[in-house]
Amino acid sequence: MSNNGTATQIYNSIYRHGVDEKRRIQIPAMWRPVETGVQLTLIVWPQRVEGPCLRVLPPNEMAELMASLDAMSNDDGKKTILKRIIGAESTQVTLDKAGRICVPEEMAKAAGIDDEATLVGLLDRFEIWDPVRYDKVKAADMVLAQEAFKRME
């Protein structure tokens, strides 16, 4: 539960969906906001050697990202760089009545998303991957998984 007593959205599991000619991607029913008109933030996320994906943040996670950027010292040159990159490489989208989001063309190209997409839950947010890139990322993640799970013991 969040601080205001409403249920916190959880994004888990993996889904593979087709992408139509208008670059619309179906969002799993369990991941859809309850309220209509909720804006999700799409960010081209460049941190993987396999190539970027689209990170999708619900409003509360985007607010936390902005707060963490604002908390950085103004003397830290990385603050402006991060704000510029995230600002330029992101957009807000809302779900249509069929539960789909439309990915802007440049973002789809950057993430390598064409006719299929893999949606991966990250618990508090999710990612949209080109299926081939995601298979490579998953293989790399599995190599590191044993060490990562030790941190939870």
Q: Tens digit of pLDDT for each residue in 57-97?
A: 999 999 999 999 999 999 998 999 999 999 999 999 999 99
Q: What letter would DSSP give residue 18?
A: E
Ranges of the chain whose pLDDT falls below 50: 1-5
- What pTM, to 2 d.p., does this model score? 0.88
How far is residue 153's CA from residue 32's CA, in Å, rounded to a whole number? 32
Domain ranges of the chain: 14-150
How far is residue 113's CA from residue 24's CA, in Å, rounded to a whole number? 11
What does each C-alpha distance from 60 to 2, 64, 79, 82 come to in angstroms? 10, 6, 20, 19
Which pLDDT belongs to residue 47? 66
Which pLDDT belongs to residue 62? 96
- The residues near 55 (Cβ < 8 Å, ≥ 6 apart) are 42, 43, 45, 125, 126, 127
Which pLDDT belongs to residue 29? 95
Which pLDDT belongs to residue 5? 44
Which pLDDT belongs to residue 1? 38
Nearest to 100 by CA among 148, 149, 28, 43: 28
- The residues near 56 (Cβ < 8 Å, ≥ 6 apart) are 40, 41, 42, 43, 101, 125, 126, 127, 128
- The residues near 11 (Cβ < 8 Å, ≥ 6 apart) are 31, 121, 122, 123, 124, 125, 126
How far is residue 95's CA from residue 26's CA, in Å, rounded to a whole number? 9
> What is the share, in percent, of the chain residues with pLDDT greater than 70?
93
How far is residue 20's CA from residue 100's CA, in Å, rounded to a whole number? 10
| The CATH number fitting domain 14-150, selected from 3.40.50.720, 3.40.1550.20, 3.30.930.10, 3.40.50.300 | 3.40.1550.20
Which pLDDT belongs to residue 50? 86
